[in-house]
């Protein structure tokens, strides 16, 4: 049998070496479509030469070095609360070096045939994209998160573990929808919004607002 049709793994650089990066690495163990050949993280400089057995190359100023060792793709391994602006900055920076965003799809996630998701997004274990929903670029749909029919999620947003977007919800770019929160059907969430963990959102949320509670109430408004 000829091996001519065997696709080689995408050679990737991982941006970030924290908890979310660990989750991404273990998801990649199942997919086999990407190979991480180096890690960049400014907080790990001087703490060791490897992260989970992978060479630490430096901080994001080492992107040129990543290209020189053969990286063609990048994956952003940062998923903390309110990290959307940083994820957006790193996404644009890596692309400026000619690297392409790799998409991570855990085999135990589900995507309806009519759903769509942008490049660089991460669909982690147990996540669900239902009928006709649309996910932007560089979005995290974390473990067990549910995105129901006809939802739209903007670029660089994080739908945290166990969160549920009911049907026809819209979420703007660079927002954070906290773990186990629920966004009721038809609600519109603006850009740069933070929804606290466990909150139930019953009405629209304006740009840059932080809402918490059941029902969710505005705690502050703070543009990044």
- For 9-70, the three-class secondary structure string (H helix, E strand, C coil) is CEEEEEECCCHHHHHHHHHHHHHCCEEEEEEECHHHCCCCCEECCEEEEECHHHHHHHHHCC
Instruction: Write the pLDDT tens digit of every residue in 21-80.
Output: 999 999 998 877 888 988 998 776 655 567 778 888 888 788 888 888 889 999 999 988
pTM for this predicted structure:
0.91
pLDDT (average), residues 135-145:
98
Of 40 and 164, more confident: 164
**Across the chain, what does the average pLDDT equal?**
91
Fold: same for 10-102 and 103-216 = no
158 labeled part of a ligand binding site: yes
Would you list the domain boundaries of the chain? Answer: 10-102, 103-216
pLDDT of residue 207: 97
User: pLDDT band for position 2 (50/70/90)?
Assistant: very low
pLDDT at position 93 over 70: yes
Distance CA 24, CA 60 (A): 18
pLDDT of residue 43: 76
pLDDT at position 1 over 70: no
Give domain 10-102's CATH number out of 3.30.470.20, 3.30.420.40, 3.30.1300.10, 3.40.50.20.
Answer: 3.40.50.20
Architecture of the 103-216 domain: 3 Solenoid (2.160)
**Does residue 165 sit in helix, strand or coil?**
strand
Cβ-contact 22, 80 below 8 angstroms: no
Instruction: Write the pLDDT tens digit of every residue in 187-206.
Output: 999 999 999 999 999 999 99
pLDDT of residue 155: 97
- For 57-90, the three-class secondary structure string (H helix, E strand, C coil) is EECHHHHHHHHHCCCCEEEECCCCCCCHHHHHHH
pLDDT of residue 124: 97
pLDDT at position 154 over 90: yes
79 labeled part of a ligand binding site: yes
User: pLDDT band for position 223 (50/70/90)?
Assistant: low
DSSP one-letter code for 126: T
Cβ-contact 63, 52 below 8 angstroms: no
């Amino acid at each position: 049998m000829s091996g001519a049709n065997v696709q080689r793994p995408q050679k990737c650089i991982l941006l970030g070496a924290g908890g979310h990066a660990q989750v991404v690495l273990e998801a990649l163990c199942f997919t086999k479509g990407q190979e991480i050949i180096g890690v960049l993280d400014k907080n790990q400089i001087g703490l060791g030469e490897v992260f989970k057995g992978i060479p630490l190359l430096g901080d994001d100023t080492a992107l040129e070095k990543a290209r020189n060792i053969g990286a063609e793709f990048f994956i952003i391994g940062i998923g903390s609360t309110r990290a959307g602006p940083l994820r957006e900055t790193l996404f644009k920076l890596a692309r400026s070096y000619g690297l392409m965003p790799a998409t991570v799809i855990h085999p135990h996630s589900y995507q309806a045939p009519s759903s769509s998701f942008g490049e660089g997004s991460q669909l982690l274990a147990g996540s669900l994209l239902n009928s006709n929903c649309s996910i932007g670029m560089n979005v995290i749909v974390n473990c067990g998160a549910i995105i129901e029919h006809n939802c739209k999620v903007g670029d660089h947003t994080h739908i945290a573990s166990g969160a549920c977007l009911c049907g026809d919800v819209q979420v703007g770019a660079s927002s954070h929808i906290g773990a186990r929160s629920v966004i009721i059907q038809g609600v519109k969430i603006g850009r740069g919004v933070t929804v606290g963990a466990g909150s139930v959102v019953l009405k629209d949320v304006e740009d840059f607002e932080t809402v918490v509670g059941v029902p969710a109430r505005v705690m502050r408004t703070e543009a990044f």
